């Protein structure tokens, strides 16, 4: 049985972008399962600013988000989803254009199509489920009004998943999520509240929610003579080793419960939450135990430097470094892209990369086309090593195109992850 989702609601209209980004980060790090971000303004300038803001948000959060934006044509839908959103929300009024929704559903999948509807309209529309099927709508977001028995009965008949929208002033989350067809609730209720605390309360009441749970009891770990276990902490995105610290049982349990790294200080003889003073929290993403059960590996999202010296990592004193080739494919690609961006920012005389930038987009596109053709030719000669060289040439020119068009590897990998 899938867990029930808590989906904070963010209306960006009239809000300062920096404040919206900060709120989205807080929700993402604080236990939200998804976000719903919307601005249905028809003003073209406002729409452009909102789509730009959504793209910025996609770079700083690591939970999915649904986007609600004014839509008039298929290109508007594409642009909304290309911000990095995993779903697009349509207002009920757009059902007057069922072919537009159907086109989006066919292109991106019904599971990424959401329809927002008021409870009163939902109840008054007898064929709402037929309209969803014909249009290719995969999810309903219903704004709650009274939670009547007839409303719940109709929800229980739904062939598509439903998310309830409610401010939770008159109702509790448990009033809704105990129904099978309701997969979650979207609300602005948690703007100043602790989502993880609410989730643990729901878990205690028997509701299946997404919280950290250990597969082993702390008593199964092999501890040192002080009753502690060492923890190697690693950046979950870059795999950089950040620090080595220790946990006792209390620190371990608190880390699991809150999702923030809590350690035991051997010098001060007390618990310490990393970042409690500095603000450089470490949000837990993965936790593993080694084969001997005597060392933990924590993969985290760091909010700042992990070392008290201000360094990202405590391991910055290089003692030995043998020259070697990197085998990390992503870092190699990122490294080449970084050099390309450096050339773009600081042109270097005689640089082929700068020659391409100076000639502009048409020249870059021409080179991409030529290199793609070279790949096809090389692939017809499988007995040579030519293909790998042509693919490498194409990848380089592709990265120049990415830099020219304002894309980076984060954009590409995020899109691939969403498709997976």
Split into its structural domains, the chain has a count of 3
Output the pLDDT for position 178. 86
Asked if 232 and 189 sit in the same domain, the reply is no
The answer as to whether 138 is a domain residue is yes
Domain range holding 182? Answer: 5-204
Asked if 198 and 225 sit in the same domain, the reply is no
Asked if 243 and 380 sit in the same domain, the reply is no
DSSP 191: G
Asked if 176 and 226 sit in the same domain, the reply is no
Output the pLDDT for position 41. 93
270 φ/ψ angles, rounded to the nearest 5 degrees = -155, 170
The answer as to whether 312 is a domain residue is no
Q: What is the dihedral of CA 247, 251, 252, 254, to 10 degrees?
A: -160
Q: What is the CA radius of gyration of the chain?
A: 25
Asked if 192 and 244 sit in the same domain, the reply is no
Alpha carbons 257 and 408: distance in angstroms, whole number: 35
Output the pLDDT for position 327. 62
**Secondary structure of residue 135 in the 3-state scheme:** helix
Asked if 230 and 291 sit in the same domain, the reply is yes
Asked if 44 and 77 sit in the same domain, the reply is yes
Asked if 58 and 98 sit in the same domain, the reply is yes
Tell me the three-class secondary structure of 62-116, residue by residue. CCCEEEEECCCCHHHHHHHHCCCCCEEEEEHHHHHCHHHHHHHHHHHCHHHEEEE
Query: Which CATH number covers residue 266?
Result: 3.10.20.810
Which tokens hold the place of 224?
């040192």
Output the pLDDT for position 325. 62
* pLDDT one digit per residue (tens) for the chain, 420 residues: 589 999 999 999 999 999 999 999 999 999 999 999 999 999 999 999 999 999 999 989 989 999 999 999 999 999 999 999 999 999 999 989 999 999 999 999 999 999 999 999 999 999 999 999 999 999 999 999 988 999 999 999 999 999 999 999 888 898 888 888 999 999 999 998 999 999 999 999 999 999 998 999 999 999 999 999 999 999 998 889 999 999 999 999 999 999 999 999 999 999 999 999 999 999 999 999 999 999 999 999 999 999 989 999 999 888 887 766 656 677 889 889 999 999 999 999 999 999 999 999 999 999 999 999 999 999 998 777 789 899 999 999 999 999 999 999 988 888 887 776
To the nearest 10 degrees (0 to 180), the angle between helices 17-30 and 195-204 is 30
β-sheet with 229-235: strand ranges across: 241-247, 229-235, 296-302, 282-289
Asked if 228 and 257 sit in the same domain, the reply is yes
Alpha carbons 83 and 24: distance in angstroms, whole number: 15
In terms of Cβ atoms closer than 10 Å to its own Cβ (0-12, 13-18, 19+), residue 325 is exposed
Alpha carbons 413 and 283: distance in angstroms, whole number: 22
Q: Is 168 left (phi over 0), alpha (psi -120 to 50) or beta?
A: left
């Amino acid at each position: 049985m899938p867990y029930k989702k808590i989906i904070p609601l963010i209306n960006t209209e009239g809000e300062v972008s920096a404040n919206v980004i900060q709120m989205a980060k807080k929700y993402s790090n604080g236990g939200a399962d998804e976000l719903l971000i919307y601005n249905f303004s028809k003003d073209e300038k406002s729409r452009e600013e909102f789509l730009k803001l959504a793209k910025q948000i996609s770079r700083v959060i690591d939970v999915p988000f649904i986007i609600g934006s004014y839509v008039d044509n298929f290109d508007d839908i594409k642009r909304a989803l290309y911000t990095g959103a995993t779903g697009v929300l349509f207002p009920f009024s757009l059902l007057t254009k069922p072919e537009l929704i159907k086109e989006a559903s066919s292109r991106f999948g019904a599971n990424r199509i959401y329809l927002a509807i008021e409870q009163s309209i939902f109840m008054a529309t007898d064929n709402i489920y037929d309209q969803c099927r014909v249009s290719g709508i995969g999810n309903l977001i219903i704004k709650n009004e009274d939670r009547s028995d007839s409303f719940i009965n109709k929800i229980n008949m739904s062939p598509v998943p439903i998310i309830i929208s409610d401010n939770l002033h008159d109702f509790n989350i448990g009033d809704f999520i105990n129904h099978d067809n309701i997969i979650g609730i979207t609300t602005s209720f948690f703007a100043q509240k602790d989502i993880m605390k609410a989730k643990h309360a729901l878990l205690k009441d028997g509701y299946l929610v997404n919280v950290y749970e250990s597969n082993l009891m702390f008593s199964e770990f092999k501890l040192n003579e002080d009753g502690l276990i060492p923890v190697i902490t690693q950046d979950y995105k870059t795999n950089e080793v950040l620090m080595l610290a220790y946990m006792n049982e209390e620190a371990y349990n608190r880390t699991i419960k809150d999702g923030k790294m809590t350690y035991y200080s051997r010098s001060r003889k007390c618990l310490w939450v990393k970042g409690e003073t500095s603000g450089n929290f470490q949000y837990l993403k993965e936790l593993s135990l080694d084969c001997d059960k005597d060392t933990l590996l924590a993969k985290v999202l760091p909010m700042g430097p992990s070392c008290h010296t201000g360094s990202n990592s405590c391991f910055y004193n290089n003692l030995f470094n043998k020259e070697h080739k990197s085998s990390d494919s992503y870092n190699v690609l990122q490294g080449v892209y970084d050099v390309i961006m450096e050339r773009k920012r600081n042109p270097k005389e005689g640089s082929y990369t700068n020659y391409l930038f100076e000639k502009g987009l048409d020249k870059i596109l021409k080179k991409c086309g030529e290199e793609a053709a070279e790949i096809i030719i090389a692939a017809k000669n499988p007995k040579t090593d030519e293909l790998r060289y042509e693919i490498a040439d194409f990848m380089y020119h592709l990265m120049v195109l990415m830099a020219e068009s304002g894309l980076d590897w984060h954009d590409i990998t995020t899109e691939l992850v969403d498709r997976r």
